[in-house]
């Protein structure tokens, strides 16, 4: 079995009460039966509080009750969980212990990512010099799980490594690197569609031809509209997207280009930050193609995330005259929370990106396929 994770994972420590946000908010956390049994042995006072804090969700599963403002009823005023504070971390349920670690298991391969919906995970990714992976092998020779085609998984391994390598070519502008990744995924998608899994590993990045760029701004406007129309976790997200969409739509092309030049000069790390974000999205989502064959949509998600966050950052910088890491992190967290963690939203976008007329990423990146 191979275990793989980004190399900054080991530096992660939850900020607890110092967190600028909290994960004890908005999400319905399902509490498993064994943990509920454990709660019956909690110290007096906490035991009654725990019994009172569990409510069934729509499927009848028991979850922590959320207050009117969306915070978990067990969150204390100092930003800590009452279970952890008054009893011990070992009594937290599996979801709360694991977050922000998300582990995907494929039988012969286990990968763990830190979701950037957590501000500390987002900070580690933002500040990384480059997105690196580390892995270890335990010597076992497990096969992929039943239902996962070994050749498909092997093809995804090879093509994702190529996509990450492409993204690390710092001498190439980010938008051109993303175009290369999308073109690679588009080619791979053809093999996946026809079940030619054995040929997927043969896909390699191809040189792209330069094209008169379609407006990146127009694509950003459509992305803001599409994301604002999705089911929000927090109302502030669609409100922000609508406001930024209006601002972007109100700029003429010359003003937009000038603002972009000034932003990029004032925030020279923007390209490294978004490269790291793109690598993270490719790492976290590419292999999930084994579940639904939607490879291209996942590559497009990385492109869309970078376009969206570039423009949200640019407009915030224009409005405030500065863009500190804490604001950038807050935008990344919101994107991850509203898109990555909302299954239906994620599916809607990754499936929708197949509509090449609405989502012509390659043209917006100033490239087209050589064939």
Chain residues that interact with ligand SF4, rule: CB under 6 A: 14-15, 19, 21-23, 99-100, 118-120
Cα radius of gyration (the chain)? 22
What phi and psi values does residue 4 have, to the nearest 5 degrees?
A: -135, 145
Q: In what order do the strands lie in the sheet with 2-6?
A: 101-105, 109-114, 2-6, 133-137
Pairwise CA distance, residues 160 & 152, whole Å: 12
Question: At closest approach, how far in Å is the CB of 312 from ligand SF4?
Answer: 20
* Complex with ligand SF4: residue 22 or 159, whichever CB lies closer: 22
Report the 10 Å Cβ neighbour count for 306: 23
Question: At closest approach, how far in Å is the CB of 66 from ligand SF4?
Answer: 15
* Complex with ligand SF4: residue 64 or 365, whichever CB lies closer: 64
Q: What is the DSSP string of 224-246?
A: HHHHHTSPPSSTHHHHHHHHHHH
* Complex with ligand SF4: residue 18 or 68, whichever CB lies closer: 18
* Complex with ligand SF4: residue 100 or 232, whichever CB lies closer: 100
* Complex with ligand SF4: residue 197 or 332, whichever CB lies closer: 332
* Complex with ligand SF4: residue 22 or 189, whichever CB lies closer: 22
Taking Cα atoms as reference points, which of 141, 127, 182 lies closest to residue 12? 127
* Complex with ligand SF4: residue 257 or 341, whichever CB lies closer: 341
Q: Which two tokens stand for residue 268?
A: 């020279």
Question: At closest approach, how far in Å is the CB of 175 from ligand SF4?
Answer: 31
Question: At closest approach, how far in Å is the CB of 328 from ligand SF4?
Answer: 16
Query: What is the dihedral angle through the alpha carbons of 342, 345, 350, 353, rounded to the nearest 10 degrees?
Result: -150
Pairwise CA distance, residues 349 & 371, whole Å: 27
Question: At closest approach, how far in Å is the CB of 33 from ligand SF4?
Answer: 24
* Complex with ligand SF4: residue 19 or 259, whichever CB lies closer: 19
Question: At closest approach, how far in Å is the CB of 119 from ligand SF4?
Answer: 6
Question: At closest approach, how far in Å is the CB of 112 from ligand SF4?
Answer: 14
Question: At closest approach, how far in Å is the CB of 16 from ligand SF4?
Answer: 6
Query: What is the dihedral angle through the alpha carbons of 256, 258, 263, 268, rounded to the nearest 10 degrees?
Result: 130
Going through the chain in order, the beta strands assigned E by DSSP cover 2-6, 54-56, 62-64, 101-105, 109-114, 133-137, 209-210, 367-368
């Amino acid at each position: 079995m191979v275990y793989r994770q980004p190399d900054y994972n080991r530096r992660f420590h939850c900020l607890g009460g110092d967190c600028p946000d909290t994960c004890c908010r908005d999400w319905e956390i399902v509490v498993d039966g064994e943990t509920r049994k454990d709660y019956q042995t909690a110290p007096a006072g906490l035991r009654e509080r725990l019994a009172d804090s569990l409510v069934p969700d729509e499927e009848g599963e028991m979850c922590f009750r959320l207050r009117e403002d969306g915070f978990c009823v067990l969150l204390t005023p100092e930003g800590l969980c009452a279970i952890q504070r008054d009893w011990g971390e070992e009594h937290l349920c599996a979801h709360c212990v694991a977050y922000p670690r998300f582990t995907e298991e494929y039988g012969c391969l286990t990968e763990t990512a830190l979701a950037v919906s957590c501000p500390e995970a987002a900070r580690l990714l933002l500040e990384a010099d480059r997105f690196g992976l580390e892995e270890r092998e335990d010597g076992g020779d497990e096969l992929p799980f039943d239902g996962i085609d070994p050749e498909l998984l092997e093809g995804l391994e090879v093509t994702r490594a190529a996509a990450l390598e492409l993204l690390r070519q710092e001498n190439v502008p980010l938008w051109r690197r993303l175009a290369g990744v999308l073109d690679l995924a588009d080619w791979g998608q053809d093999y996946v569609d026809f079940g030619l899994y054995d040929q997927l590993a043969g896909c390699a990045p191809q040189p792209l031809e330069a094209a008169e760029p379609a407006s990146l701004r127009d694509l950003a406007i459509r992305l803001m509209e599409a994301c604002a129309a999705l089911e929000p976790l927090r109302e502030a997200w669609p409100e922000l997207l609508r406001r930024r969409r209006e601002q972007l739509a109100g700029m003429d092309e010359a003003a937009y280009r000038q603002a972009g030049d000034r932003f990029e000069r004032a925030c020279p790390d923007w390209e490294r930050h978004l490269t790291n974000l793109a690598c993270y999205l490719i790492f976290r989502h590419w292999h999930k193609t084994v579940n639904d064959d939607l490879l291209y949509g996942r590559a497009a998600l990385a492109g869309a995330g970078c376009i969206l966050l570039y423009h949200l950052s640019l407009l915030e910088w224009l409005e405030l005259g500065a863009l500190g890491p804490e604001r950038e992190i807050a935008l990344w967290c919101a994107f991850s929370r509203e898109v990555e963690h909302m299954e239906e939203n994620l599916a809607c976008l990754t499936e929708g990106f197949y509509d090449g007329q609405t989502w012509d990423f390659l043209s917006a990146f100033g490239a087209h396929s050589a064939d």
